[in-house]
């Protein structure tokens, strides 16, 4: 082996690599950015930052001392964000993804629980309505709830407020048992419809890969600019709207086709059904396809060359899909990041698809995500048209 | 037919085209000549509507071309320097797309495609993917794409770049046929022999300015030395201007070293050439071969700019 040649070739490769600034940025910045994101989401970057709290709705139909004690304890728990609600509102909030768990304390719960603590027998039943896409949080709420119920019931029972120990009588041996039972109900589109975890998975991945298609569409515009085809189009008596509008339309059509094929596969193979409004689902898909087309046009103005634009766009897309919840559900984000994620179109896309596919959202409920995505499409399209370099030599 | 008036284009500090004006009569073939970077492509781009001029206008049949959708643009067909083809599509599908840009469809489009493919000799390859074509075939198809809507004016921006001599000849046969059919041609090139073969009139551009605009014969007459001798030297000198002393000889208009040949222009062959040979002998340079010819456009350019087109 010629050592001189070897060194020269290595030096050449390193020089070429570092001369491509965007490749360098992608190679160094992307892993730092993604690693930081996941580390932050799963580990917490700082103890100063408030952790994300689980949204819980509390429905107190008992209004006993025990139920009030339980709700007060839940409200004081740092892991939970508890709001009082009536049953129907709570169910709607869980179905809409705004609340993770609804805790329903039925009438007579306090009295029955105190008695059951010593005597067993018929135990009162507490109901948990939960969002089936948040199973990990349900387990956490269940544990916290058990702790607070046991505290409240035992406190009341031993203080004699509900006559629990009095009922046992002096001299009788006492044995403790769990003083209540729990009935859990996954809140889906409607009763009897089971949650299919594939729905969220397919929504997230569709969004990600359609955005990648959007990048290719944008890069193709730049490649066209380099070729004589662009010159020939510009020389023809057609408007720039025809040229760029046709590009956007074809991107939107491809995006729609991808959505149809992907969700068609999910329907046939995994039984994913559109449990909400089909018109709403179609509207979300169309709005996302239009937004993707506009995103593709934006890509075409991000860099002067196709290579540069592709590098920047991939980085931007990775950020968008991370923040949109395609990889990790947004409820795992810190609270501020959950709020901030509404500033990216992917969050609206994933939420809109989730809502119309398995949450059973109506067309009216889908209008929010549709409007948001169309708004992003207008913004991206306006920037693209403003920044697009039309002039170019033959 | 085509009037270019005072076209001007600046990119930052670089003035690409300055006050370029010329007229092309119907059926005329005009060569836009100049070295790379002279402003030829920018000029053609402004004529075709690809680049917006900072000043000036383009008129076709007396009407000013305004805006992207001006119907006057239908009278022009552009053969861009970069290939305007989709490699994954067939020749016919490419042409169908370009015809559609001019609103053509159905039987009209099919007839136009057949005629264009026939002219460029690709009728039998119409259904083949362009990716399977040779460079010369792609260049011919590139030209066919500009003919579909039957434009009166063809703007050809260096249409023979990168093709072998055989394909270049084929393209020229096509262009001569188009000229016979009465098409008006605006042909940019830095190959002087191409312009001499095809063009009736020559517009020479350098540093963005028109430095000559006349018929081929009139442009030739711009050269004071109408004769050229080319001398092959066995032992050329060192340095850039080893032959510079020749320019001081009586009757010598210019001297240029091109590759392995010394080109010397002069008015009177009989009176001046002996002096040139004597100068070479006196300075110890041995001549291997000598040939004389009439001044060509290369010589014109050399005389007008002091530089060779090919060496730029």
Radius of gyration of chain B from its Cα atoms, rounded to whole angstroms: 22
**CB-based contact (8 Å) between B45 and chain A?**
yes
Average pLDDT taken over every residue of chain A: 83
Residue B305 lies in a domain: no
Q: pLDDT value at position A172?
A: 45
E strand or H helix at A24: helix A21-43
User: Which carries the bigger pLDDT value, residue B196 or residue A58?
Assistant: A58
How do residues B137-182 score in pLDDT, each as one tens digit?
A: 999 999 999 999 999 999 998 888 878 888 888 888 888 889 899 8
CB atoms within 10 A of CB A179: 26
**Bigger pLDDT: A160 or A294?**
A294
pLDDT in tens, A267-319: 998 888 898 899 999 999 999 999 999 998 888 887 777 877 887 888 888 88
Write the CA distances from B123 to B67, B137, B297, integer angstroms. Answer: 35, 11, 36
Residues of B in contact with A232 (CB under 8 A): 78, 80, 84, 98, 101, 145-146
How far apart CA A21 and CA A45 sit, in angstroms, is: 29
- Separation in Å, CA B143 to CA B67, B82, B175: 24, 11, 9
Could you name the CATH architecture of A54-168+175-186? Answer: 3-Layer(aba) Sandwich (3.40)
CB contact under 8 A, B84 and A228: yes
Q: Is B52 on the interface with A (CB under 8 A)?
A: yes
Q: Mutate which of A247, A389, A394 to disrupt the B interface (most B C-beta within 10 Å)?
A: A394
B258 vs B261: CA distance, rounded Å? 5
Nearest CB neighbour to A232, from listed B51, B74, B80: B80
What CATH number is attached to the domain comprising B160?
Answer: 3.40.50.300
Domain harbouring B289, CATH code: 3.30.70.100
A329 pLDDT more than 50: yes
pLDDT at B148: 92
B202 class by beta-carbon count within 10 Å (0-12 exposed, 13-18 middle, 19+ buried): buried
| Dist. CA B98–CA B147, nearest whole Å | 10
Write out chain B residues lying below 8 Å of A392, CB-based.
Answer: 45, 50-51
Locate the DSSP E strands across chain A: 54-60, 80-84, 101-105, 125-130, 181-186
pLDDT at residue B112, rounded to an integer? 93
Of B219, B246, B278, which residue is a domain's last? B219
| B117 and B184 part of one domain | yes
Q: Does residue B307 lie in a domain region?
A: no
Q: Out of A128-137, A195-204, B1-10, B224-233, give the one with best mean pLDDT.
A: B1-10
Task: Give the pLDDT band of residue A51 (cuts 50, 70, 90).
Answer: low
Torsion angles phi and psi, residue B214, rounded to 5: -165, 180
Pairwise CA distance, residues A336 & A288, whole Å = 25
**Measured distance CA(B103)–CA(B94) in Å, rounded:** 15
Instruction: Tell which of B171, B202, B219 closes a domain.
Output: B219
Counting residues of chain A whose pLDDT is more than 90, the rounded percentage is: 20
A237 and B69 within 8 Å at the Cβ level: the answer is yes
Q: Where in chain A is the domain with CATH 3.40.1710.10?
A: 54-168+175-186
CA distance B145 to A333: 55
Which structural domain range is residue B243 located in?
A: 227-294
The total domain count for chain B is 2
Distance of CA B222 to the CA centre of its chain: 19
Q: Which residues contact B111 (CB under 8 A, 6 or more apart)?
A: none
B157/B82 Cα distance (integer angstroms): 9
Q: Tell me the chain B residues in contact with residue A393 when contact means C-beta distances shorter than 8 Å.
A: 41-42, 45, 50-51, 81
CA B216, CA B223: separation in Å to the nearest integer?
A: 12
Gap between the Cα atoms of B263 and B257, Å rounded: 6
Contacts of B86 in chain A (CB under 8 A): 229
Instruction: List CB contacts (< 8 A) between A231 and chain B.
Output: 45, 48, 50, 78, 80, 82, 84
- Residue B184 located in a structural domain: yes
Q: pLDDT-derived band of residue A27, with 50, 70 and 90 as boundaries?
A: confident
Q: In what order do the strands lie in the sheet with B2-11?
A: B14-24, B2-11, B55-60, B63-64
Residue of chain A minimizing CA distance to B146 = A232
Could you report the per-residue pLDDT of B55-90, keeping only the tens digit for each? 999 999 888 888 888 899 999 999 998 888 988 899
Check residue A43 and give its pLDDT. Answer: 63
Q: CA nearest A284: which of A198, A352, A344? A: A352
A vs B, Cβ pairs < 8 A, gives 83
Instruction: Name the β-bridge partners of B184.
Output: B153
The pLDDT of residue A169 is 44
Spell out where A210-365 has E strands. Answer: none
* Statement to judge: residues B161 and B260 lie in one domain: no
* Mean pLDDT for the stretch of residues A103-126: 82
Confidence of residue A103 (pLDDT cuts 50, 70, 90): very high
The parts of chain B modelled with pLDDT lower than 50 are: 310-312
Query: Could you say which of B168, B186, B219 is where a domain stops?
Result: B219
The structure tokens 């396809």 sit at: A289
- Mean pLDDT for A110-118 is 79
Answer yes or no: is pLDDT of A42 > 70: no
Torsion of the alpha carbons at B149, B99, A290 and A350, rounded to the nearest 10: -160
Q: Which of B78, B88, B131, B162 to mutate to test the interface with A (most CBs of A within 10 A)?
A: B78
Average pLDDT over residues A140-148: 89
């Amino acid at each position: 082996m010629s050592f001189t040649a070897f060194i020269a070739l290595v030096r050449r490769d390193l020089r070429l690599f570092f001369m491509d600034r965007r490749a360098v940025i992608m190679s160094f910045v992307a892993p730092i950015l993604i690693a930081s994101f996941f580390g932050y989401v799963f580990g917490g970057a700082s103890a100063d930052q408030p952790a994300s709290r689980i949204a819980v709705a509390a429905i107190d139909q008992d209004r006993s001392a025990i139920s009030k004690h339980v709700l007060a304890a839940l409200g004081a728990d740092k892991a939970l964000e508890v709001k009082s609600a009536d049953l129907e509102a709570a169910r709607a909030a869980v179905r809409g993804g705004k609340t993770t768990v609804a805790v329903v304390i039925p009438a007579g719960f306090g009295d029955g629980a105190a008695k059951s603590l010593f005597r067993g027998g018929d135990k009162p039943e507490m109901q948990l309505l939960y969002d089936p896409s948040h199973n990990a949080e349900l387990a956490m709420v269940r544990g916290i709830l058990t702790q607070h119920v046991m505290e409240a019931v035992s406190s009341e029972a031993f203080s004699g407020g509900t006559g629990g120990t009095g009922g046992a009588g002096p001299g009788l041996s006492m044995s403790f048992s769990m003083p209540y039972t729990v009935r859990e109900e996954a809140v889906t589109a409607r009763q009897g419809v089971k949650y299919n975890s594939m729905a969220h998975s397919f929504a997230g991945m569709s969004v990600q890969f359609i955005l990648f298609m959007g990048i290719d569409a944008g890069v193709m515009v730049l490649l066209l600019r380099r070729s004589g085809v662009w010159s020939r189009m510009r020389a023809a008596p057609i408007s720039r709207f025809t040229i760029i509008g046709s590009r956007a339309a074809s991107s939107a059509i491809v995006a729609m086709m991808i959505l149809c094929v992907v969700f068609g596969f999910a329907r046939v193979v995994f039984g994913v059904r559109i449990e909400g409004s089909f018109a709403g689902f179609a509207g979300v898909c169309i709005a996302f396809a239009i937004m993707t087309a506009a995103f593709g046009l934006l890509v075409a103005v991000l860099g002067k060359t196709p290579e540069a634009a592709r590098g920047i766009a991939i980085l931007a897309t990775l950020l968008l899909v991370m923040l949109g919840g395609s990889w990790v559900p947004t409820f795992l984000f810190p609270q501020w990041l959950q709020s901030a994620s509404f500033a990216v179109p992917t969050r609206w896309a994933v939420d809109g698809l989730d809502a119309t596919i398995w949450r059973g959202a109506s067309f009216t409920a889908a209008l929010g995500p549709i409007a948001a995505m169309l708004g992003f499409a207008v913004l991206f399209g306006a920037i693209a048209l403003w920044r697009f370099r039309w002039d170019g030599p033959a | 037919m085509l009037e270019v008036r005072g076209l001007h284009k600046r990119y930052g500090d670089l003035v690409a085209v300055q006050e370029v004006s010329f007229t092309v009569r119907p059926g005329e073939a005009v060569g836009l000549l100049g070295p790379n970077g002279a402003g030829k492509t920018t000029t053609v781009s402004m004529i075709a509507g690809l680049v917006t001029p900072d000043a000036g206008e383009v008129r076709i049949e007396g009407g000013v071309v305004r805006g992207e959708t001006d119907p006057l643009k239908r009278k022009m067909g552009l053969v861009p320097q970069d290939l305007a083809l989709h490699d994954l599509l067939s020749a016919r599908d490419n042409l169908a797309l370009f015809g559609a840009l001019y609103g053509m469809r159905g039987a009209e489009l099919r007839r136009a495609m057949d005629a264009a493919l026939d002219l460029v000799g690709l009728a039998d390859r119409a259904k083949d993917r362009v990716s399977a074509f040779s460079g010369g075939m792609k260049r011919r198809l590139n030209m066919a794409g500009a003919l579909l809507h039957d434009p009166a004016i063809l703007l050809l921006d260096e249409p023979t770049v990168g093709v072998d001599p055989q394909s270049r000849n084929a393209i020229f046969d096509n262009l001569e046929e188009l000229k016979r059919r009465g098409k008006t041609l605006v042909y940019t090139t830095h190959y002087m022999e191409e312009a001499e073969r095809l063009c009736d009139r020559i517009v020479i551009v350098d540093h963005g300015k028109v430095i000559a605009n006349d018929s081929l014969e009139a442009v030739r007459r711009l050269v004071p030395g109408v004769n050229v001798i080319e001398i092959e030297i066995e032992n050329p000198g060192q340095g850039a201007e080893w032959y510079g002393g020749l320019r001081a000889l009586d009757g010598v208009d210019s001297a240029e070293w091109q590759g392995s040949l010394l080109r010397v222009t002069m008015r009177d062959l009989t009176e001046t050439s002996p002096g040139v040979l004597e100068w070479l002998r006196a300075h110890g340079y041995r001549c291997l071969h000598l040939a004389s010819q009439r001044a060509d456009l290369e010589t014109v350019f050399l005389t007008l700019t002091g530089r060779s087109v090919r060496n730029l």
